[in-house]
Structure 1
Amino acid sequence: MTLIALTGGIGSGKSTVLAMFAELGAHVFDADQFAKQAVAPESPGLARVIEAFGSEYLTAAGELDRAKLGSLVFGSEDAKKQLEKILHPEVQRLSQAAFKRVFAADPHATVVYEIPLLVETGQHEGKWDRIVTLTAPLATRLERLETQRGIDNKTALARIANQASDEERAAVADHVIDTACDLDTLRERVAEVLKDCRAEVA
């Protein structure tokens, strides 16, 4: 079994690379999917969020108003820490259960788990077999964010400033992939890293 953590700053190409790992036969997950499960309607996680922040962060349908809570958290370090304290244990529990199911079905499986805030949340100290970080020049990231996600440069730069630097992520990584290339080249780089990770862990 091989458990790989995949990280990178906003606009570094995580979704694209994660899809490539899947094409190459890895089982892929991302932290965002577990974060959504953690606050699903009627979940213990959602109940704790509402207890902490108030029922005004619920929609009429009984779901978490992500945009409203996101605005609060982005503007308040205390609120951000409070939310993380609620969500991280739930995300940890859900992700570990998912990995366990994969490895129980196939002990030789490779799992790649995308965690955008791996370094920021201290999760790089977890029990990963390998850590892969993605990097790309700032101009490339800004262009991707504007063309693919409609995020203007000012907003993008603010988000990038809020995250760990490429140097901080590279310092904890076993492999660094430069994603500033065409898709065929990127696919080759991903395949090479996957091959190396499996060989190193075997």
Structure 2
Amino acid sequence: MPEKFEVVLAQFRTEDIKSSRWGELVNEWLALETAAGFEERGPALRAKGRPDAVHWWVHRNRRTKHPFPTLLDSEDAHDLFYLETVKWWLAVNPDWRKVGVETQTEFLRQGLAKNVDGDLDELYSGLNGLTSVVACLLWWYRVEKVSEGSEMWHQMVDDVLWVLTEKLRAQHSKRGASQPDESPSTKRARK
């Protein structure tokens, strides 16, 4: 595993998050990154609307486990970060997942579609992709200071976990389709 991913993984495998869903999320993220080959310079999720904390973290080589300094300033800064994170998540998801969901409130009320009517190709793996979303969830938990995580945090974790699982499934399907069939032929030889 490349050093940059080791640094990020050490941050994600934190002891202070008490939610078991967090452990599942980190394990699925790691499985996807492993399957995708640990892309350090791959495509990025769209930057428009991305929380400033991501830019701050990336420009520190993803080496700090503490959230963006202004997140610690006030309750208003916390609330703004939560809303920015949800809004960015909605923006980077494909349209087929957002049917009837245009706002953070609608996301919290009904969530995004999980019926796989399309691909998730624009939700890139790699350091510039879903890794940043997982980092936002880590900071969200830390500034929120709710022992098991708030309902809104859990909803985001569950949705990101679903995406990671589906992308990993697609990655395995692509790999399986590209490998030649090594099983013995089931056809009978002609006599």
TM-score by structure 1 length?
0.28
Q: Which has the higher contact order (CA 8 A, sep 6+)?
A: 1
**Bigger-Rg structure (1/2):** 2
TM-score by structure 2 length?
0.29
